[in-house]
Amino acid sequence: MKLTDKEIEQFDRDGFLIIRDFADTTECSAILDIAKVHLKYEITPIETEYEYIGIDDIKYKETVRRLRQVYDRDILFRNWMQSTKIRPILKQLLKDTPVLTLAHHNSIMTKHPHSSTETRWHRDIRYWRYQNDNLISIWLALGEENSSNGVLHFIKGSHKMEFSSELFDEKEYFVPTESEKNLLVSKIVTPTLNRGDIVLFHSKTLHSADKNRSDNPKISFVYTVKGLKNAPLPNTRSSSFDEVILYDDKVKRVSTNL
Ligand SMILES: O=C(O)CCC(=O)C(=O)O
């Protein structure tokens, strides 16, 4: 599948693009079933709510926020990340051969009811270290994501906005002043997603997510790609995990060796 020129322009302008009904719903259900088993048995590596937000509360210590390193967990996860359907799209947007970065988003993300927290405004690039910031995350909704269960919000065009470093706190969450908020509020987009919908978003796009106020978990899949020419910086987390090159007709797992 390929994007139209209009869709490429939209991604470049807004910093994100939603593609409805992209993933087969049977594939989504199968991924969800496996994810639920890994969540039930808390198969490591995992990150808890406590590790994510740092609030010392037993309910946050017992709640899994994400399953990490999913590429190596199951063939179904791997197949989704290596889908040949998406490769031409990623190549169009990156203008390079896409490469999976196993170091970062390579996760099943969850928002559990009653014990999850909001995700504050941030840019994913905050902890990632590459020669340039041109990385794209692929978010797959495995079920409905709506205003009651932790929907994502994006700020249109924020991947191209320059902000003073003072507007980011010590964890690099974005903390806008009142005047910034007033300028940005009209640019917030909150898309309801259905099973099989994907959102492609740039590593500098500001996004956030609500807490889950429903009675069921929100479970999503997210992974990140970069271009082959965009190397990770030495001696960083970004360079300490393997990468998987997504050629048109094959994949190749490589060590970054940095
Ligand atoms: O909480 C969510 O659903 C979004 C998570 C997210 O944006 C992140 O961990 O980078």
> Which CATH number does the domain housing residue 57 bear?
2.60.120.620
- What pLDDT is recorded for position 87? 98
**Atom from ligand 1 closest to the CA of residue 107:** 9
Domain membership flag for residue 255: no
Decide: pTM greater than 0.85: yes
Strands 251-254 and 119-122, how do they pair? Answer: unpaired
**144: domain range?**
6-214+224-248
Domain membership flag for residue 68: yes
How many structural domains are present in the chain?
1
Domain membership flag for residue 161: yes
Distance 231 CA to ligand 1 centre (A): 24
Strands 243-246 and 152-155, how do they pair? Answer: unpaired
Domain membership flag for residue 20: yes
CA 46, 47, 50, 54 torsion-angle sign: positive
**Atom from ligand 1 closest to the CA of residue 218:** 3
**Atom from ligand 1 closest to the CA of residue 207:** 7
- What pLDDT is recorded for position 207? 98
- What pLDDT is recorded for position 50? 78
Distance 249 CA to ligand 1 centre (A): 31
Reading phi first (left if > 0) and then psi (alpha if -120 to 50, else beta), residue 73 is in: alpha
Count of Cβ atoms closer than 10 Å to residue 156 Cβ: 18
Count of Cβ atoms closer than 10 Å to residue 223 Cβ: 23
Give CA–CA dist 10/166, Å, rounded.
Answer: 29
- What pLDDT is recorded for position 258? 59
**Ligand 1 proximal residues by C-beta, below 6 Å:** 109, 111, 119, 124, 150, 207, 209
Distance 85 CA to ligand 1 centre (A): 24
Average pLDDT for runs of 10 along the chain of length 258: 97 98 98 97 90 75 88 98 98 98 96 88 95 97 97 98 93 92 95 98 97 95 98 94 96 85
Domain membership flag for residue 258: no
Give CA–CA dist 218/141, Å, rounded.
Answer: 9
* Probe residue for ligand 1, chosen from 207, 219, 220 as the CB with the greatest number of ligand atoms within 8 Å: 207
Give the CB-side neighbour count of residue 106, counting CA atoms within 13 A: 24
Distance 250 CA to ligand 1 centre (A): 30
For residue 30, give the 3-state DSSP assignment: helix
Q: What is the pLDDT of residues 82-130, one digit of tens each?
A: 999 999 999 999 999 999 999 999 999 999 988 788 999 999 999 999 9
Domain membership flag for residue 112: yes
Distance 209 CA to ligand 1 centre (A): 6
Distance 84 CA to ligand 1 centre (A): 25
Domain membership flag for residue 1: no
Domain membership flag for residue 185: yes
Give CA–CA dist 174/55, Å, rounded.
Answer: 19
- Hunting for tokens 């429903």 — which residue is that? 214
Cα distance between the two ends of the chain: 34
